[in-house]
Amino acid sequence: MKNLITLQQALIEIKNLIETAIKQSGTEGKNNLIRSQRPIKLLHEVTKAELIRNKVNPKCLNPPLDQSHGELSLAGFFKKKDQDICIVPNGFEPKPEKLNFPGILYGQEDKFGFDFTEKTLSINVRSQLSSSAKNFDTLYERTFAEALNLHLRCPKMVLGEFYMIAVNEYDSKAANRKQVKYKNVVGVSKHIEKYLLSFAAVNNRTTITGDHFKYERVCLLIVDFSKKTPKVYNTDAELKADNLLTANSVASIQNLSFPNFISDLLKIYSTRFRTEKFK
């Protein structure tokens, strides 16, 4: 197997891709690149690489490493949706069933079945590189609605959310002139605080009988792409040192940072499904 991509390598490549697109084709080039999903797919590969580093058999990954096709469309209570990354226990086979609970899916076939779905560890990956303040409410509602959809049907299912936001947005006026510049988000510390508090509210689901809107583990990846080498914030002290969080804020990134994201998910999975292995 070739060398697994690291988070830092992926962020450097994302920065280079976007800045090259701006220099070559301006705002249109940047927007076309983001629509192509090349930047976000790098975070998918980081997630898969981290799973493999944590002893997950690559054969358990859907889609496989270095591939973007092969997502599993899992049925929740309200809808079916392609999951960005699914980890399925080795040798565990789907058992198709007809859905008989009331709702929009009533009477449809679920080609995977309840048991397969509940024992699949699902991780979704999202990023917000611009207009993160403007689109916050819609994106946040979508985030907890997707956890709710799956947990209502499969209460024991282990779900992860990997969400990246940029500290400084690209300056659209400069991009129109094919120039790379960054603009500070107005009230950046309040903006970061809002994200931290909001994602903490849907993090660390520890029960299987409630809190269906929560994820077992959320990673909020806060990145400053304006630095020569993109900077990731993993501690409250780092955020406060750069004035991204006020000294007296109750918000914290302690349980939302990247380093333990995957290992935490795997520990939770092991507790709930002791006999299931990803070896």
For the chain, the structural domain boundaries read: 7-272
Q: Which of the residue ranges 125-139, 144-158, 210-224 would you say has the lowest mean pLDDT?
A: 125-139
Least confident of 53-57, 166-170, 219-223: 166-170
Measured in degrees and rounded to the nearest 5, phi and psi for residue 166 equal -100, 135
pLDDT tens digits for 110-145? 999 999 999 999 999 999 887 666 678 888 899 999
In the chain, the percentage of residues whose pLDDT exceeds 90 is 82
Give pLDDT, residue 256.
Answer: 98
Residue owning tokens 């301006």: 26
Neighbour count for residue 208 (Cβ, 10 Å) = 14
- Whole-model pTM over 0.85: yes
Mean model confidence pLDDT for the chain? 93
CB 92 within 8 A of CB 64: no
Local confidence band at 186 (pLDDT 50, 70, 90 cut-offs)? low
Q: What is the topology classification, in CATH, of domain 7-272?
A: Restriction Endonuclease (3.40.91)
Phi first, then psi, for residue 81 (nearest 5°) are -150, 140
User: In sequence order, what DSSP letters do the residues of 146-201 get, joined into one string?
Assistant: HHHHHHHH-TT--EEEEEEEESEEE-HHHHHTT---EEEPTTHHHHHHHHHHHHHT
**Residues 17-23: what's their mean pLDDT?**
95
Q: What is the pLDDT of residue 29?
A: 93
Question: CB-based contacts of 36: which residues, under 8 Å, 6+ apart?
Answer: none
Q: What is the pLDDT of residue 131?
A: 63
pLDDT in the model for residue 274: 76
C-alpha–C-alpha distance, residues 151 and 147, integer Å:
6
Residue 249: how many other CB atoms lie within 10 Å: 17
Q: Is there a contact between 204 and 188 (Cβ–Cβ < 8 Å)? A: no
- Cα(75)–Cα(33) distance, integer angstroms: 30
Over pLDDT 70: what percentage of the chain? Answer: 97
pLDDT of residue 135: 74
pLDDT at 56 over 90: yes
Please state the rounded mean pLDDT for residues 63-77. 95
Q: What is the pLDDT of residue 14?
A: 97
More confident residue, 92 or 162: 162
Q: What is the DSSP letter of 6?
A: P
Supply 189's token pair: 């510390």
Tell me the Ramachandran region of residue 29: left when phi exceeds 0, alpha when psi lies from -120 to 50, beta otherwise. alpha
In angstroms, the CA 28 to CA 21 distance is 8
Residues 248 and 151: their CA atoms lie apart, in Å, by 35
Q: Over 70: is that where the pLDDT of 52 sits? A: yes
User: Of 169 and 64, which is predicted with more confidence?
Assistant: 64
Task: Tell me: pLDDT of 1 over 80.
Answer: no
Joined together, the tokens standing for residue 52 give 């493999």
